[in-house]
Amino acid sequence: MFRWVCRGVLLLCLLLAPRAAIAAGVQPDDFTMRGIAVGATEKEMLAAFGTPDFDREYTRWGVSLKTYTFPGGFEVTLDRRTLSVAEMKTTNHDYTARLGIRYGATSYYIQKIYGQAKRQKIDGLAYYVYENPAASHTRLLLEADFDDGSLRSFCITSLPLTAEEADAWQTATGEDDATDGESLQNVLAGQAEIDTSALPAPPEVKLGGLEP
């Protein structure tokens, strides 16, 4: 009798194991890259990523940013207001996340590890989007191939993804970078005495910034 009970318990564990893996979903470590999380200082980030190839300053959705580009297809973006990490992205084919998730991982395996998610279209690309359960407004964006849903890139970000989120960001932080970069035309247009009809259209700002 005892032997049959043991076999029953073992069988139940085997049946429940895959379900438990799916139910586990995202973990706090999934929102780090090379040991760095959103909110880390510039010094901490550079110690982990090394010497950058170059950096550039710009605005996205009215937020002032500074992006460092590192060898191997890594980019880290700082919020220029706080000089803390706001976004990390990589297209490196050898970069491996938890449980072997890496470039080319299938849609099935992605969702087995991180949980079920519908692909969302952002800036013309498809992403699986997961929120950090331990830190609100921090998300993991896994770029998916349009055809088979396989993994193409990782992005960990706390930056707004839409105009509505950008408005909420500026309200929460008390920041308004409307005079920076691509927003200058809108500021000038509000001054009736200045003719802005000849100003060129502002460039379209894309998520991240890695060149294909």
58-81 pLDDT per residue, tens: 999 888 999 999 999 999 999 999
Q: Which pTM was predicted?
A: 0.72
**Is there a domain that residue 197 lies in?**
no
pLDDT, the chain, mean: 80
Task: Please indicate, yes or no, if residue 8 is contained in any of the structural domains.
Answer: no
Domain assignment present for residue 139? The answer is yes
Phi/psi of residue 10, nearest 5 degrees: -65, -45
pLDDT at 207: 55
pLDDT at 145 over 90: yes
Lowest mean pLDDT among 54-68, 93-107, 160-174: 160-174
Q: Is the pLDDT of residue 166 over 50?
A: yes
Boundaries of domain holding 171: 26-189
Mean pLDDT within 124-145: 94
Q: Name the least confident of 40-49, 90-99, 178-187, 203-212.
A: 178-187
User: In the structure, what pLDDT confidence band is assigned to residue 106 with cuts at 50, 70 and 90?
Assistant: very high
pLDDT band at 208 (very low <50, low <70, confident <90, very high): low
Residue 9 within any structural domain of the chain: no
In a domain, 176, yes or no: yes
List the CATH number of the domain containing 148.
2.60.460
Give me the helix-helix angle, 2-24 and 107-114, nearest 10°: 100
Distance CA 36, CA 193 (A): 48
DSSP code, position 105? -
Q: CB-based contacts of 139: which residues, under 8 Å, 6+ apart?
A: 129, 130, 131, 132, 156, 157, 158, 161
**Domain assignment of residue 19, yes or no:** no
Q: What's the total number of domains in the chain? A: 1
Q: List the structure tokens of 33.
A: 């890259």
Q: Is residue 198 part of a domain?
A: no
Residue 208 lies in a domain: no
